[in-house]
Structures are given as C-alpha cells and as structure tokens.
Structure 1
C-alpha cells in the first residue's frame, strides 16, 4: 500500500482530512482511530512521556488501515527524524520551524540521496531489510514532511518556507501566541487573523494547512475555513472532554480545562 495515498487524495481534492493527536503509549488508541475512519494520527514525542517503542506499537496497530501515521519528534535533530522514519512513520510533523534554512537542514535527515543524506538501515520501515529496496525506491516520493508554523519568526519567514517545496504545513496557535507575548493562550491577540492569513497564503501556493480543533464546533469551523488537516483533539483531551460533558450533565462539578 502506498504511504499517505488516502490522505494525499483528500488534500488534492480540497477535502478535509480529520486526525487525532496521540499522547498515550496505548496502541489500542490508534487501532480504534483507524476503525473509526480517522484519516491520520500524529504520535507526539515532543511533549509527554511516550518513546520510540510506543511509536512502533501505534504503527503496528495502524498497519493495513490506510491511515497515515505521523510522528512529531522532540527536536529537528538527525537522530529524532531518522529514528522516527526508520520505525516506519509515514511522515514527520516538525515542531518550531522558524526559517527556510531549518527546512533545508531537516530535509537532509528526511530524504535519501540525492535529495538528502538519510542513511540506509534494515529497520522496520524496510520490513527489517526484506523490503528495503522497494522502500528506498519510493520513500522520497511517498513520505510527507510537514513543518509547523508556530512562531512569529516562522510567520515573518512564511513565504520563504513555502518556497521549499512543502506540500502541507501545520499551524500551532498556542506557541504562536506565546511567541507574541500571550503565553498560555490558545489564540492570543491577533493570532486568529494570523492563522487565516497563513491558510490563505499557503493555499495560493497549492499548500494545504493543518490545525488542531478543541471542540466539534471548532472542527466544523476549521473545515469550513478550508483547512486540509484538522485534528479532532488529543486522545487524553477527548477523554477528558467526554467525561466532563457527562459529569456536568449528571450535576457533578468539572475540574479545570485542557487545551485540546
């Protein structure tokens, strides 16, 4: 099965592909997501406590489903990108990309020669060496590299980043707000307008944009605004959302709020 075929088809048709942010190591989360028809998931190694063994579990759970499995590595370094891809990830959602130069440096780790200098390894991605030739022949075309636009610097350098042959970007409103002085706010002053400006400018260049929604209503809004990838939230966040809703309906007091 061609990696990311279903996701790319939706993006190319201008449809919205709905996803899930995975923060738990439990592979059943990804298995259920695939059974429910979720288009993509992002296993988050940047925050939280899960590790590469957990990534392998999620990839195994999603195998054969047609659901794209992305990893958000903890950094832009060689090790984080290479290990995620060697585990079999279908793409990378790269955090805190500020410039086109950072995109080019990450490409070095992401692509095999001649586009980059990713090393060969007989790991899970190449079926433990049994399918390495096929994987290497197709990886540069099939894998998806998705930089996150989540700082004021990235916004300032947006055109240059979009020029680096990216097909999809992902917005981070919380970190964008923090970089503009509104730490702890999801969409601080001016960020809602920035999100739509990024969406518009990317679309003009044929680049899809992704974003996290924090409620059903927000997911509908983002779809209608034209976002190509919309996360319905995180696994733990969705559990909290449902438990809170039921608890409040039963007259119990809710505690706190979660971003997504």
Structure 2
C-alpha cells in the first residue's frame, strides 16, 4: 500500500488494521510489514527507540514486499517531533494528549506546510517516498488526534470537526483512567468506558473522519471494527513476544514434568 492509497482509504473510512511496535527491531518490522497489515505504528512516545531507531524502522517498512505504510505516534503535540517523523518518511502521525479543538488545530498545522500550516520544509527522506511537493505531502500524509483524556472526550465533537484532521484514535488505557478507572482494565467503569467509545465513534462519523482504537489482539480489533471503528491497531510486539514466549515455556515445562 502506498501512502496515497493509505490516506485515501483512511479518509474514506474504509476498514484498516495495523500493528503497534515498541521495539527498535528493523528486521522484525520488515517481517511484520509483509504479513498483510495496512500500517505499522511506531511508538515514539513510549517506545524503546530514539530518532535513529524510528528512521531505521520506517525504512524497513518500505522494503520490497511490504503491504504496510509506516506511522509514528510522536512524543508530543509539537512541531519539532511531528516534523522529524514526517521528514523521516512517516505516512502520518498519531498525536497524543489532544484535549481540545485548539490542540487538534495545532496538530494539523504542524503537519501541513504554509499557507495551510507551519511545518518547516525539509523532507530529507520523505521526498523519496511521498515526494518533495507540498501539495503531494498534504494529499498523502495523515494526522490523527488521540482521544485519551477527560478533556479530550468532553470536546470530542469539536475535535472531530477540526478542519484538516483526518481522524481520531482512542487510547483505551489512558481513557479508562481518565473516566475514573482505578486501573487500565478496571471493570467498574466498563459501562462508562463503552459509552465514551460510542461517543467518539458517533462524533467521528458525524464529521466524516476516521475513528480508530488501540486493541490488545486481533479478536478485540474485529469487535471494535464491527462496532463502527474504521481502523484498529493490534498491540504490540513487546507484549506479544512475552506472551508467546511464556506459552512456549509453560508447554516445555509441562512436557518435561510428564
């Protein structure tokens, strides 16, 4: 999938499935990008890599045989990290902690070149993937605002209506805490959490933009897509590595006891 195809599909609210990466492991990213996912999202906020790791992993996604584009969750709603991710070749950015329509507008401005925004011109690598023309970058580069705070949820309708915003993305762990959960999986706030998700979906649908969510596994992703989310991310390489390694260890120990 090319950045242009991905942007068109996302803006068209077509169902998309991605995978989340925390690890600085370009060879693993290269393999994951060939499995059929529509995008790989590299976490520069909580992930275990710096700029060079982000660059190397984005390059790995773009190798022959890839079905995916590379996305980056930037560390902050700031023009500097947003610009670095885009210059490195990201097909789009996921911007955390968007609390208001003003925050969303700031994120959009950081992604678009003047006169539409304030992105500084210097597409050192992205020009090889997307092209050096600002009009091409605007067409092929997406910006997604995370809904993960109480303020963001309260202003979600205005956030979704922000001109130039391509979609919203629910961070379920933070959002569950924001609505009063004692833990990121607290069942006591389940009803309120599901109501919050429905509100986000409806706001995005009304605005005609994409609605995405972070999920722990493919089965949950399928449920969320069936509910009306237009894209879902399966998370993540570090957790799944631990889960599968534990499963194999337990199987080996049990077999050895037998």
TM-score (normalised: structure 1) = 0.86
Q: 2:97 aligns to what?
A: 96
The aligned residue for residue 57 of structure 1 is 56
2:154 to 140, 152, 156: 156
Q: Using the alignment, how far apart are the partners of 1:108 and 1:10 within structure 2?
A: 19
Aligned partner of 1:205 in structure 2 is: 207
**Residue range with higher mean Cα deviation, 23-32 or 212-221:** 212-221
- 1:186 alignment counterpart: 185
Partners of 1:173 and 1:187 within 8 A in 2 = no
* Aligned equivalent of 2:220: 218
Q: What secondary structure, in the 3-state scheme, does the structure 2 residue paired with 1:146 have?
A: strand
Q: CA deviation at 1:55?
A: 1.1
Q: 1:187 to 1:95 in 2, by over 3 A?
A: farther
* Deviation of the 1:183 alpha carbon: 4.3
C-alpha contact 2:131 2:137 (8 A) present in aligned 1: no
Taking a change above 3 Å as real, the CA distance of residues 110 and 224 of structure 1, as seen in their structure-2 partners, is same
Deviation, structure 1 residue 77: 1.5
1:73-84 correspondence runs (5 A): 73-84=74-85
Unaligned 5+ segments in structure 2 are none
TM-aligned CA deviation for residue 201 of structure 1: 2.5
Deviation at 1:9, TM superposition (A): 2.5
Structure-2 residue corresponding to 1:175: 174
Query: Structure 2 vs 1, CA of residues 47 and 37 (structure 1 numbering), >3 Å: closer, same or farther?
Result: same
Match of 2:240 in 1: 238
Deviation, 1:44, is 0.4
The structural deviation recorded for 1:11 is: 6.0
Which stretch shows the higher mean deviation, 203-212 or 149-158? 203-212
Structure 1 residue 186 displacement after superposition: 3.4
Alpha-carbon spacing, 1:203–1:122, altered in 2? closer, same or farther (3 Å): closer
For the aligned residues, what is the CA RMSD?
Answer: 2.3
User: In structure 2, do the counterparts of structure 1 residues 243 and 74 end up closer, same or farther at CA, with 3 Å as the change threshold?
Assistant: same
Give the Å deviation of 1:198.
1.1
The farther-off stretch of 40-49 and 141-150 is 40-49
TM-score w.r.t. the length of structure 2 is 0.87
In the alignment, the residues of structure 1 paired with residue 219 and residue 251 of structure 2 have an alpha-carbon distance, to the nearest angstrom, of: 19
Superposition deviation, residue 7 in structure 1 = 5.7
Count of aligned residue pairs for this structure pair? 248
